[in-house]
Amino acid sequence: MTQQESSGTRFTFGKATLLPQEEMLEVKKSRKQLTIGIPREDQKNESRVALTPEAVEQLIEHGHQVIIESEAGKSANYQNTDYSESGGMIVEEKIQVFQSDIILKIAPLTLEEIELVNEQKIVISSLHLTSQTEEFIRKLMDKKITAISFENIKDEHNCHPVVRSMSTIAGTTSILIAAEYLSNVRGGKGVMLGGIPGITPAEVIILGAGNAAESAARAALGLGAHVKVFDNSVHRLRRLQNDIGQRLYTSVFHKQVMTRALRSADVVIGAMYLIEQGPRYVITEEMVKEMKKGAVIIDISIDQGGCIETSECRTQQDPSFIKHGVIHYCVPNLPSRVARTASIAISNVFLPLLVQMGESGGLTPFLKGDAGVRNGVYIFNGILTNEFIGIHFGIPSKDIELLMAAF
């Protein structure tokens, strides 16, 4: 038995050797071969791919079939040959991919792509509810598709593994971008974040105390910067400080304190995700006017409207602008800047889920035993199961727990 086969066996059937022979035969009978389709991501600013060649190879070893649209991994620097040598089937026509039992995609399906999907298939992708329409939801329902939003999937620790991974990458990347825009290369002031004896370090303000904020703080501290973290929750600030393991300047939001901090800041990282009711912007335009010329703002939360009033959503082709003398970088989906790393992180989440799904005998028995993945299901066999989406679009919904009991 190879190392990979041994690893796969331990992951799925750690107690298989304790089962009676009849029960082991029953388990083998319940396994289902999956056909998984990986379309090329055509959405602007999306460079990630859902499965790496290494993950494809492991799925093939477990008896599944993986169909990949030509150049699906090109933006993440994976070639067609990488996938074909791993056992994947490369196809030129998009419709061939969408005939698969499971469509695995990063960006949400377009209305045109939904038309290519056969009825009663499974779609696993992001949802991006703020940019979706009622037509999108109803088209999925009409085709009796089971749709799973990977950003809502939870793990055994009640965390969202995909969101956590992408937030970690976004936070670290934001500091690297800030360092670049402080340099002469991007027309900045020509300063480093810190780490040079005898030279005062740059001041970095981080808005928020979640995963992205923590990663940004770690990266900034690692480069020698002086870091200040602001959030509206003392609990989150305390947790962040404990997780980082060293004393940090932390504060809840007070206008006077924030304004003073902004006057001396070299970098501001916006890592707030404001889902609560109330003012969206924690930094107003008047506050930005008080900042130093040549300071840098990176608004990670721009895909949700941003948490800084002067932020404007841009693209990777035209990522930055200057307003009130302050450089702004406001591009959504920062993980796509490091597409290969982000793809590996996402693939690491999807691979064990797909293996378990096959070993369970398909999606329905798998969902019955995995509450975390059930949390990501928003349409099951054409029935809307997400109450929030139902209220948002005025579509009746049903509790997925009740549906699971019926199947």
* Residues 126, 106: Cα–Cα separation, whole Å: 6
Determine how β-strand 203-207 pairs with β-strand 377-380.
unpaired
Spatial CA neighbour of 216 closest among 191, 200, 240: 240
For residues 311 and 348, give the distance between their C-alpha atoms in angstroms, rounded to a whole number: 33
Choosing from 101, 231, 299, 303, the catalytic residue is 303
In whole angstroms, how far apart are CA 269 and each of 75, 153, 322? 27, 27, 16
Per the DSSP assignment, residues forming a β-bridge with 323 are 326
Nearest to 309 by CA among 294, 336, 289: 289
The helix/strand/coil state of 31 is coil
Candidate list 128, 155, 324, 392, residue with the active-site label: 128
235 is catalytic: no
Strand partners, 299: 270
Strands 102-104 and 122-125 come out as parallel
Integer-rounded Cα Rg, in Å, for the chain is: 23
Q: Give the separation between CA 97 and CA 118, rounded to whole angstroms.
A: 11
If one counts every other C-beta atom within 10 angstroms of the C-beta of residue 61, the result is 15
Please state, in angstroms and rounded to a whole number, the distance separating the CA atoms of residues 170 and 186: 20
CA distances from 17 to 27, 58, 355 (A): 12, 22, 19
Which of 257, 261, 263 shows the shortest CA–CA distance to 324? Answer: 263
Question: For this structure, is 62 an active site residue?
Answer: no
Give the rounded distance of the alpha carbon of 234 from its chain centre: 26
C-alpha span between 325 and 94 (Å, rounded): 46
Active site residues: 128, 303
